[in-house]
Amino acid sequence: MTFRDASDREITYLRISLTDRCNFRCVYCMPDENMEWIPRDEILTFEELELIVSVFAKHNLKRIRLTGGEPLLRKGICDLIRRFRNLGIDEIALTTNAFLLPKFADALKKAGLTHINVSFDSLEPDTFKKISRNQKLDRVLDGLQSAQDAGFENIKLNSVIIRGINDHEILNLVTFAAERKHILRFIEFMPIGLGTVWGDTSVPLGEIRQKLSEQGNLVPEKKKMGMGPARYWTFSSNSISPTPIGFISALSSCFCDDCNRIRITPTGGLRACLADDREEDLATLIRAEKTDADKKRVVEETVHRALAAKKPSHDFTFDEEVNTLKRMHAIGG
């Protein structure tokens, strides 16, 4: 039987953050300095993650997404993917900054990874550095090519448009994605975590659609695509063949009615909603039990408890201060 939350929504999508560490310092995710990383002995082990996922697998779990931080910094990630595939999970996705894909793309494909999303906010080296605080745009581009060469199709590019920083690149990002057969998704900058540049910098996605409509034809898709929150439109112009563009509008057009996911943080915090800092401490609970049977029982009980407390909707607005204290890299992007 599928896990359901208090609003009777089916939970079929599990997002697992493997680490809070990252080789970038994106302005919407973490501060530039004075970072305090989670001690390694507090991070869930692969054996613990395998046990947790085995419980979800018996409840009709359809997809896992591996996030971070930067998940490719977690040693042995390909082994973890194989473990999840052996549990019968057919869709395993990864969200990455692509910096390490030249090294890992082939191995990830062989291990059974099925989908790749890449955080990709700028095509301009100076703007890329301003957002990511990393100078290696060329390495990210190499990573995208490596993923394609390894056989990954429909690679998704996630772009956060920040007013005054990269809002002049909207059409260029669309063109880049269309030429390479990637799927571009624009994501509204969300008020998550202290130390980011949140303020009047978030651009409503309606504003982005308006700009694109002035540059070509933008038509909404009639059918929902994928398991995530993106709503897709098709864009075309004199120079761009019809290409899908996703819009993830957490602030301007809440999609909570269709929520199908739950999150696990690197330390085993079971988080029913990204925008709600309440977490169940799965790590402590399962480590207190001696047998796998008891650990699995505790996982199932804890998931039911967390979902029973899940709110019908989040409280994000453009006008408030940050909504959560924990930063995105520590939750799982």
**Could you tell me the sign of the dihedral formed by the alpha carbons of 95, 99, 101, 104, in that order?**
negative
State residue 326's pLDDT score. 62
Span 161-182, pLDDT tens digits: 999 999 999 999 999 999 999 9
Q: Look at residues 279, 317, 333 and name the one whose alpha carbon lies nearest to residue 28.
A: 333
Residue 141's contacts (CB-CB under 8 Å, 6 or more residues apart) are none
Half-sphere exposure of 116 (CA within 13 A, CB side): 31
Span 223-277, pLDDT tens digits: 777 778 889 999 999 999 999 999 988 766 677 888 999 999 999 999 998 878 8
**C-alpha span between 236 and 296 (Å, rounded):** 50
Span 42-88, pLDDT tens digits: 999 999 999 999 999 999 999 999 999 999 999 999 999 999 999 99
Q: Are 235 and 213 in contact (CB under 8 A)?
A: no
State residue 236's pLDDT score. 97
**C-alpha span between 35 and 54 (Å, rounded):** 33
The top-scoring range by mean pLDDT among 27-41, 245-259, 271-285 is: 271-285
When pLDDT is averaged across residues 276-302 and rounded to a whole number, the result is 96
When pLDDT is averaged across residues 14-32 and rounded to a whole number, the result is 87
Mean pLDDT of the chain: 90
Confidence of residue 325 (pLDDT cuts 50, 70, 90): low
**C-alpha span between 255 and 249 (Å, rounded):** 8
pLDDT > 70 fraction of the chain, expressed in percent and rounded: 90
- How far lies 330's CA from each of 17, 174, 275, 289, in Å? 8, 30, 13, 26
Q: Are strands 243-248 and 183-187 parallel, antiparallel or unpaired?
A: parallel
At which residue do the structure tokens 């799965």 appear? 282
Name the residue with higher pLDDT: 140 or 254: 140
State residue 318's pLDDT score. 46
State residue 317's pLDDT score. 53
**C-alpha span between 237 and 225 (Å, rounded):** 22
When pLDDT is averaged across residues 92-96 and rounded to a whole number, the result is 98
**Residue 188: is its pLDDT beyond 60?**
yes
- How far lies 34's CA from each of 30, 37, 111, 195, 265, in Å? 10, 10, 36, 10, 21
What pTM was estimated for this model as a whole? 0.93
**Residue 183: is its pLDDT beyond 80?**
yes
Amino acid 231 reads R
**DSSP tag of 324:** B
State residue 331's pLDDT score. 75
Element (H, E) at 232: strand 231-236
When pLDDT is averaged across residues 305-316 and rounded to a whole number, the result is 85
- How far lies 64's CA from each of 178, 214, 260, 269, 295, in Å? 27, 37, 12, 16, 20
Q: Give a three-class secondary structure readout of 141-205.
A: HHHHHHHHHCCCCCCEEEEECECCCCCCCHHHHHHHHHHCCCEEEEECCCCECCCCCCCCCECCH
